[in-house]
Structure 1
């Protein structure tokens, strides 16, 4: 029903602002719920049928491009971007345009690449003395900025903000935080102290341990491509399905561990506990060790270990493979819808927590320590807003120079589409461009008669007047007449 309502609405402005983006509350047990709009609710419920509708995707596309922006007076409302058709360059040189999800995503990608470069420089330049160089210092500053950004968004959005990548990034930041703390502990000891060396090595071990997570983190920014977006959804679903496997595995592990420990303590000696844990872990990873169980409470230890391997390798691992196959088939069958849902979720992450002043991490540290703490609590709101605009304009000048140029070009396209009576996002096809160039040269445009297109269209046009059987009878009559002429020609020559 929701999809039918969206598809049936012809007034685009009413559909976008009143149907899809206007927040409503409902009564549950006599109490009002938190206001939410259709776009947010469809993303939260993973309603693929609603997300895949053309009106919904048009709304998400407008939000992504910044053609629909949050109202300055009421951030819960969305209004049309007034300067969408303005071709003035300096009109688009506005720090408020940094709220556009497309631009925020671009800046985040740039900062993530810089973040990875800092990590590569830090891990490849070990300081045996334990001192912090400028590369490591910037790495930890970036990390602190990302942590503050995650906490702020979680505070504003709530539990709906939590997702696979948020937990993944939080784990990475936790490892780097432990590395930084151990480095500070090392610096607290004098040079030459054995404890300074030990904590310094431990700090670098945590730093090196996080390298796979650093590089895998780049997949977060490849979800804009349809193939990678669908595969990331498959990966997320597989991780969720793995919870069933690990729950079964935990029950089996506890039971067999208790059995092995019980066999080991018959002689009041628990010396084989480490060996048991290692052997069970190797069995899970597909490399069981049977030799060590020959003298382990024979014959019970070896028989029990065979049973354990059979349950793990033959039953549980095949269950895990079946769960993965099921998840892969479910996602790939709806790859396009899953990609659109992922893209919609990514867009809503930028607009769901309205922020009047967009300071992308690690620039959020400048906002926190240079603007919020010293000025926000006493400065009048208009003056504080102007101060933020000046700071953002200075920090993001390279980006604003590019975005203003791109929006100027987009404004020309939108103006041209409106003059033709087309939608704002309509693209001009090649044959339309050819027609415009022909008319600009003083000719009548594309001549389909001279090019032979009209004749080819007439030949391929279906006959909707005559019956199909009648058409075939006529063709058969023509073929019989041709055959008759051929026979008469052969007879005449004979």
Structure 2
């Protein structure tokens, strides 16, 4: 049985010890797939001290509220190179030869989270604390972008896992990549070094060390151009390959549904297409139940609830079909339940198609729209909270008018008309005979509150959410893609059996074999089974990895990064000598100073002129003093 599927999971598993004060972990994506806690690369107490040092530094650098653009602008005059260098040295301890500078980026994110928590506790200084959190993110971004050693950047600064102390006990170890996604630190996520690391994880060029789960290492066969060397079922742990399998399975699932809904069986019998459809549904339900059992209530998210609703409708359709089959052919009950089954099946069609967006979020268009929809649904909670209070109040009023004669006769009418008002089609004429004149007056008031006030509030919330996301659409998409990658990386299965293959693992491997078979033999058997079921995918991925290996070798021969590509504007670059032909000198002579603004340059020019004038006055005074001394001190 897989320990936890690497699919879409919103939150992670907490034990009782982790619940105490771990507000910064509430948004984590997945639990660790190992039963033992991953150790921190540095003692948690020292990591906590580094984070406290950085928080103290930020509080001293930003002692009062400032315009945010002074912090976020390039070449900030607040986060100066000296400030950045001081932050880098926060991992150095007096009297110790160990340099813990690799944890500085992680600690800056911890300090940013502390500042945001402090903003919630001290609302009178919320703007100041949020500004300090922004400064922490900008410092982390600057440190990442300034690091030129890619190996140290990825395997040291970004992927080493650390813990801090909370209530005297260490938190679950996490790295800067995970922490930035958990905290939705868009400025850190959007920087080039971070995205390069995400790209390496997505391609499977960086993999978790089997002997030390706290560190990541380079994929050993990254430069191996042999085709058969890459036919390894363990490569199904690579995020892009798992994502491809999920998309293929989702399309097959949709095709089965389309075939089932367009081939109605009047007799009520189950054909092969419908049987496969319900089998896929069973596999998905088992996968969801397994994850909910291991993760708990923190697993629940929008897409989990959406999928659960879809699977529930399909389950009802299957149960009613089974009830129909229990009756004799031609019986009215069989026809009744068979029709009901197909109605439930047809009812789920929109959900089947919308479900595809869950797996297409790797494409930029769908990803950005999903972020917008997610924010809109979150903002809708305000509207529905207000709507619920209004609905309960008016419903009680209308029902009270209806039961004046101690006979409830219009409950269905009341609920229908109230729903019509919410959907924008109220009917006022039908209320003339309902407790006149109070019923009509109350319905006018209800319609005004719903259509004029609450619906406009909802539209304003949607507009605000859409503008906030679209103004920062690129970083939001990068954050979504990073989260998608980490969902596969943070808790990889020891044996990757995606639905519907998880049924094969459950029925054919785990239950009959795992409890008695030696671990080594069981793992080898799993590899054989995975090699068979994923063989079509592995044949393609092995070819892709051989091409990738050739490109990596080519790039290393040019002393370029492994993922470098030769673009159109670079094809003739080696045949141009800008310095030799004098073009570089001409450009240098006409290049403006973009680091300093015009006012600063003008002020420095005036300051230079004043300095020269003071020098001339001083020299003039010296000359006058000399003339006086030569003339014996008399005026001349």
TM-score when normalising by structure 2: 0.68
In the alignment, structure 1 residue 407 sits paired with structure 2 residue 545: yes
8 A Cα contact 1:24 1:37, kept in partner: yes
Tell me what 1:351 maps to. 489
Aligned residue for 1:109, secondary structure, equals helix
Q: Deviations over 1:277-300 (max 9, x none)?
A: 111000000000111111111111
1:431-446, aligned counterparts within 5 Å? 432-433=570-571, 446=575
Match of 1:82 among 197, 217, 220: 220
In the alignment, structure 1 residue 251 sits paired with structure 2 residue 389: yes
**CA displacement at 1:78 relative to structure 2:** 2.1
In the alignment, structure 1 residue 170 sits paired with structure 2 residue 308: yes
8 A Cα contact 1:98 1:104, kept in partner: yes
Output the CA distance in 1 between the equivalents of 2:397 and 2:584.
80
In the alignment, structure 1 residue 58 sits paired with structure 2 residue 196: yes
Tell me what 1:41 maps to. 179
Output the CA distance in 2 between the equivalents of 1:24 and 1:200.
57
Tell me what 1:309 maps to. 447
**CA displacement at 1:348 relative to structure 2:** 1.1
Match of 1:67 among 197, 205, 208: 205
In the alignment, structure 1 residue 419 sits paired with structure 2 residue 548: no
8 A Cα contact 1:145 1:365, kept in partner: yes
8 A Cα contact 1:89 1:405, kept in partner: yes
Output the CA distance in 2 between the equivalents of 1:455 and 1:18.
42
Match of 1:208 among 346, 361, 369: 346
1:315-464, aligned counterparts within 5 Å? 315-430=453-568, 432-433=570-571, 446=575, 462-463=589-590
Output the CA distance in 2 between the equivalents of 1:24 and 1:357.
26
* Pair 75,366 (structure 1): closer, same or farther in 2 beyond 3 Å: farther
Output the CA distance in 2 between the equivalents of 1:155 and 1:49.
35
Q: Deviations over 1:141-200 (max 9, x none)?
A: 111112222333445555665432222222211211121122222222333333322222
**CA displacement at 1:265 relative to structure 2:** 1.5
Aligned residue for 1:191, secondary structure, equals coil
RMSD: 2.3
Aligned residue for 2:346, secondary structure, equals helix
**CA displacement at 1:447 relative to structure 2:** 6.3
8 A Cα contact 1:156 1:353, kept in partner: no
Aligned residue for 1:144, secondary structure, equals helix
8 A Cα contact 1:75 1:354, kept in partner: no
Match of 1:270 among 398, 408, 426: 408
Q: Which consecutive residues of structure 1, in runs of 5 or more, have no partner in the other structure?
A: 436-444, 469-494
1:188-207, aligned counterparts within 5 Å? 188-207=326-345
Bigger Cα displacement from structure 2, 382-391 vs 190-199: 190-199
Aligned residue for 1:104, secondary structure, equals helix
Output the CA distance in 2 between the equivalents of 1:221 and 1:371.
28
In the alignment, structure 1 residue 97 sits paired with structure 2 residue 235: yes
8 A Cα contact 2:247 2:360, kept in partner: no
Tell me what 2:86 maps to. none
* Pair 71,457 (structure 1): closer, same or farther in 2 beyond 3 Å: closer
* Pair 254,73 (structure 1): closer, same or farther in 2 beyond 3 Å: same
**CA displacement at 1:65 relative to structure 2:** 0.4
Tell me what 1:7 maps to. 145
8 A Cα contact 2:361 2:481, kept in partner: yes
* Pair 352,154 (structure 1): closer, same or farther in 2 beyond 3 Å: farther
Structure with the bigger percentage of helix: 1
Tell me what 1:139 maps to. 277
8 A Cα contact 1:84 1:411, kept in partner: yes
Output the CA distance in 2 between the equivalents of 1:63 and 1:365.
28
**CA displacement at 1:256 relative to structure 2:** 0.7
* Pair 265,45 (structure 1): closer, same or farther in 2 beyond 3 Å: same
Match of 1:233 among 371, 382, 401: 371
Output the CA distance in 2 between the equivalents of 1:461 and 1:282.
70
* Pair 285,190 (structure 1): closer, same or farther in 2 beyond 3 Å: same
8 A Cα contact 1:157 1:352, kept in partner: no
* Pair 434,271 (structure 1): closer, same or farther in 2 beyond 3 Å: same
Output the CA distance in 1 between the equivalents of 2:583 and 2:288.
61
Bigger Cα displacement from structure 2, 350-359 vs 283-292: 350-359
Match of 2:255 among 117, 136, 142: 117
Aligned residue for 1:423, secondary structure, equals coil
Aligned residue for 2:228, secondary structure, equals coil
8 A Cα contact 1:264 1:270, kept in partner: yes
Paired residue total: 455
In the alignment, structure 1 residue 280 sits paired with structure 2 residue 418: yes
Aligned residue for 1:417, secondary structure, equals helix
8 A Cα contact 1:153 1:353, kept in partner: no
**CA displacement at 1:432 relative to structure 2:** 4.7
Q: Deviations over 1:29-74 (max 9, x none)?
A: 1222222222222222211122112222111111100001122334
8 A Cα contact 1:161 1:349, kept in partner: no
Output the CA distance in 2 between the equivalents of 1:313 and 1:267.
31
8 A Cα contact 1:233 1:338, kept in partner: yes
